[in-house]
Copies of this chain bind each other. A is one copy, B any other.
C-alpha cells in the first residue's frame, strides 16, 4: 500500500507525485524523492524496483521479509533493514522497516507494523536546512525514530523484572514468577535480536570506510550507535539479573516446599509420641500396676502433654517448626 510519494527540491516539498512518474523526477537534478510503502504486494515492490532501479537481491529480501537487521551496500545505494517492536495485548510482536537509500531517493517499506513514520516526515519537512542534506539525513531520521521506539519496550521489560524481583523473597514466591521470568526472557531475546545486529551494522556508517552516501553524517550515525549500545548494555544487564533471578526463584520455591514438609514432619513427631504412650497403656497385660492407680489416667495424659510441650519448644528453638 502506498502511504506517501513526495518529491522535494532544495529541502522543500515540491509535490505529491504519482508513483509512475518517480523515475522522471529522479532524473531532474536537485530533486529528491521520498516514498513510503506499507505491507506492499509483490507487484508494488516490482514496480518500485523498476522506477528506482533497485538491486534484485535487495528487493528479494524485502519480498521475503523476516530479515535480520542489516545494512547492505549495493554499489551507490544502501538497503537497510530494521526491526520494529510493538506490544499487542501484552505480547511483543516484531515487524520490519526496509529502507532503500539512493543518492536522491528514499524508499521506506513498513511491514507488519501498526505505527507509521509520518511524524518523522512531518518533523523533517519542518527543517528544510537539514532535509537539504538529502537521503542520508532522512535515513538518519528514520533510524533514529525506529531506535527511539525500542526504549519504551526496554522500560517495560525493566519494570517487569523489578516487579518480579520484589516477589522473589516473599514467603509465597509463586510459581507465576518463573512463568513471568521465562516470558520476560522471550521478550528480551526479541529485543536483543532487533538491537544487536543493527548495532553492528550502524558501526559501519561512521569512522573507517563509510558508504559514500553517508559521508559527513558520521556524528549523527554515531549518536544512533550510542543509543543502540545503551540498549545493548541494558539488555545484557537484564539478562544477567534474570538468569540469577530464575535460579534463585526456583531455589526459593523448592525451599518453601521442603520447609513445609519439614514442619509437617515435626508435627508428625509431636503426634506420634502420645500415640506411642497411649499404645503402651492400651496393652492387655494382666499385670500392669499403673492401670490400677487412681491417678494413672491423668498422670499419663500429663506426661504425654509434657513431652509434647518440651518437643514443641525444642523444635521451635532449633527452627524445626
Contact = CB atoms under 8 A, between A and B. Distances in A.
B278 A230 contact: no
Specify which of A72, A243, A265 lies most central, judged by the most chain B CB atoms within 10 Å of its CB.
Answer: A265
B265 A219 contact: no
Interface residues of A, number: 86
A259 interface: yes
**Total copies of the chain:** 5
A226 B70 contact: yes
Nearest to A74: B219
Contact of A259 (B168, B257, B264, B319): B257
A284 B287 contact: no
Given A264-B262, A291-B285, A241 B189 contact: yes
Interface of A is mostly: helix
Interface in A255-289: 255, 257-262, 264-269, 271-276, 278-288
Interface stretch (A89-97, A115-123, A174-182): A174-182
Contacts of A57: 219-220, 223
Given A244-B182, A296-B286, A264 B275 contact: no
A63 B113 CA distance: 30
Interface string A221-249: 01100100110010001001101111110
Contacts of A287: 293-297
A213 interface: no
A93 B67 CA distance: 27
A237 B68 CA distance: 13
